[in-house]
Amino acid sequence: MAHHSKAVPNMPKLKILMLNHEFPPVGGGGAPVTLELCKHLVRTGHAVDVVTMHYGNLPRFEEIEGVRIYRTAAIRKRPNICYTHEMATYLPGAIGKTLRLAKNNKYDIIHCHFIIPGGPLALSVSKLTKIPYIVTAHGSDVPGFNPDRFQWQHKFTKPILKAVCKNAVMLTSPSRYLRNLVLNNIGRYDIRYVPNGIDLDNFKLDLAKPKENIILATGRLLKRKGFQTLIKAVRDAELPFEIHIAGEGPYRTKLEELAENSRTKIIFHGWLEQGSRQLMDLYERASIYVLPSSHENASIALLEAMAAKCAMITTNVSGCPETVGDGGFLIDFEDSDKLREILVTLGRDKKLLSEYSEKSYARLLEKFLWDKIVAKYVEIYRQASRT
C-alpha cells in the first residue's frame, strides 16, 4: 500500500526555511522527523531550504530529494550528542548564511525545530526580514522534560525561551504532554498539537512474515527507559517468549546482571543501526513490543513497532499513552508485576494477541501517516504567513 503525498491544486506553493541544529545523519529523534517533513513538503510542491550545523566531513551544501541543505560553521564533536557549548555555536555560525538566504528567497515562513538553540536564530532573522516564524518543541528544549541533562542550563535560558515563544506566530508540539510542559514551564502561548509521523514507503516491513514468540524492546540503555522492568517481569517466570533487547548505553552492565539466570531467555543485541536488516527482521518477527519508559515525548520507536503490527505495552506517563491510545496496554513505570500479568495473558490468549496487533496497526494508519501530518503543517504555515 503506497502512501504518497499529493499536491493540492490552485493553492499557492510555499517557500519554507527550516532551521534545526540537528539534521540526518546527525542528531537524535528530532533530526529524522525534520528530514521526513521536508521531503514530504517538497513532494507536495513546496520549496524547502534547511540551515543546520556542519559536522565532520559532511558537505557544506547538498540536496536530498529536492530539499536543499546548508551546513554552517559549528564545533560539534559527535554525531549522536550535542553539548551546550557546541549548541551555542549554531547562532553565530548560521546567522550570516540564514540572513542571506532569507533576503534572497523571501520565504513565506520560517519553521524552527527546538526552542533553543534554533529559536534565537529564527527570532533574529524574523526581526531583520519580517518573515514570520513558528517553533516546534521536541523535548530537551523544554524545562522539566529531561532530568538527565540541561537542568542547570534551563535556569539561565528561561528569558531566551520566553522571548522566542512570545515572538513566534505559533508553536507546535508532537505530544500533548510536551505542550502542557511548555504551558506550565515557559508560558501561555498558542501551541498546536501535531504528532510525529511515519512513512510506510520508507519503513519497509514484510507484514506477511509470520509472527514469532518474541518480545522486542529497543532504545538507549538508560535507567529511565525501564528495560529493568521488563527483565524483572520475565526472569522468575517461564514465559513462552524470548526477550530481545536492541540498544546500547551506560545501563547495559546492570541490565545484563539482572538478566543472569533468567528463566525466560533474554538476548542483548547491542546497537542496531536504524533501518538495518537485523533490526527490521526483529520488528517483523516480534509479536509484542515493550517500552516501559519513565518519560517519552512522541516516541518514533512506538510508531515503528505499531507499523510492524506488534501488540503494544508501554507506560501510562508522558507522551506514551497518547501514542498507543486504546491500541495497547498501559502500566505504571517500574510495575513489573503488572507487566508480567499482561505477558502471561498474551502468552495464553493468541486471539487477544492478534486483536491487539491489528488494533495498533489500525491506530497508526488513522493518526500517524505523514500525509495527514504534512497537511496539518501546511495549514499552520498558511495561517502563520497568511498565504
Asked if the model's pLDDT at residue 150 lies above 60, the reply is: no
Provide the pLDDT confidence category of residue 315 given band limits of 50, 70 and 90: very high
| C-beta neighbour count of 268 within 10 angstroms | 16
The residues facing 52 across adjacent strands are: 71
**Mind listing the pLDDT tens digit for each residue in 85-143?**
888 899 999 999 999 999 999 999 999 999 999 999 999 999 999 999 999 998 888 88
User: Distance (Å, rounded) from C-alpha 139 to C-alpha 149?
Assistant: 11
Helix (H, G, I), strand (E, B) or coil at 245: strand
Mean of pLDDT values over 144-172: 78
Mean pLDDT across 10-38: 89
Average pLDDT on 364-370 reads: 93
Per the listing, cell 512474515 goes with: 209
Contacts of 89 (CB under 8 A, 6+ apart): 53, 73, 74, 75, 76
Write out pLDDT tens, residues 164-215. Answer: 999 999 999 998 889 988 998 888 998 999 999 988 887 788 888 999 999 9
Residue 32 Cα distances to 239, 301, 351, angstroms: 36, 12, 35
pTM of the model: 0.84
Cis peptide before 12 (omega within 30 of 0): no
- Cβ atoms of 150 and 120 within 8 Å: the answer is no
User: Quick one: cell of 24?
Assistant: 540526518
pLDDT-based confidence at residue 1 (cuts at 50, 70, 90): very low
Q: 214-367 has which fold?
A: Rossmann fold (3.40.50)
Residue 155 vs residue 232, higher pLDDT: 232
- Rounded to whole angstroms, how far apart are CA atoms 307 and 10? 34
pLDDT single digits (tens) 29-56: 788 899 999 999 999 999 999 999 998 9
Fold of 15-197+369-385: Rossmann fold (3.40.50)
Query: What is d(CA 78, CA 15) in angstroms, rounded to the nearest whole number?
Result: 31
Chain centroid, CA 157 distance in Å = 23
Query: Distance between CA 288 and CA 70 in Å, rounded?
Result: 41
Classify residue 84 by burial, with Cβ atoms within 10 Å: 0-12, 13-18, 19+: middle
All CATH 3.40.50.2000 domain ranges in the chain, comma separated: 15-197+369-385, 214-367
pLDDT at 148 over 90: no
